[in-house]
Amino acid sequence: MDDLVPHVERMDWEGLRKQLKQTGIRNSTLMALMPSETSAQISNSTNGIEPPRAFVSVKQSKDGVLKQVVPGYPRLKNKYDLLWDQKSPEGYLKIMAVLQKYIDQGISVNTSYNPEFYEDEKIPLSVMLQHLVMFYKYGGKQLYYFNTYDGQGEIDFKEDQTELAPGAEDDGYCESCVI
């Protein structure tokens, strides 16, 4: 992992290590990243450390259908890297390996592939295995899902196609952005 980000100590970590040997550590100070699919829907946020799948996603549950817009869309739309636009999960996996070094518990990391970027729209097993081995080589602990884009649950959002909700003013927000 230090091939990706060289280790440079900026604090007195050796002093902290000595103190912890003497006094111990409480579990409440350990760090974990939780899965956030459901809580992201409730709080209208993205799914934690994963790139958003689209600017507008459709989430379905037993309680109904929810159109979810990425936070800050009008102001931040050019800053988002969407999941299905990535040609390879390699960069994301390297970032997760760097994060894993500083997270106490294992991060459940997903890989995502868009068949449009592969010959005959088929993702070779050798490519997936190459990413799997690379992730563990850099210190990743758990690959969870190998996702493949199928176009379900995402809306191909184009600003010129937006319609305003009844009674809404044209302030740059799409129908899904207006409550």
pLDDT tens-digit map of 106-143:
888 889 999 999 999 999 999 999 999 999 999 998 88
Cα 177 to Cα 13, 43, 73, 167, distances in angstroms? 46, 14, 9, 13
Please give the Cα distance from 16 to 165 (Å, whole number).
Answer: 56
Q: Which whole number is the average pLDDT over 55-70?
A: 81
Please give the Cα distance from 45 to 32 (Å, whole number).
Answer: 18
Percent of the chain with pLDDT over 90: 34
pTM of the model: 0.68
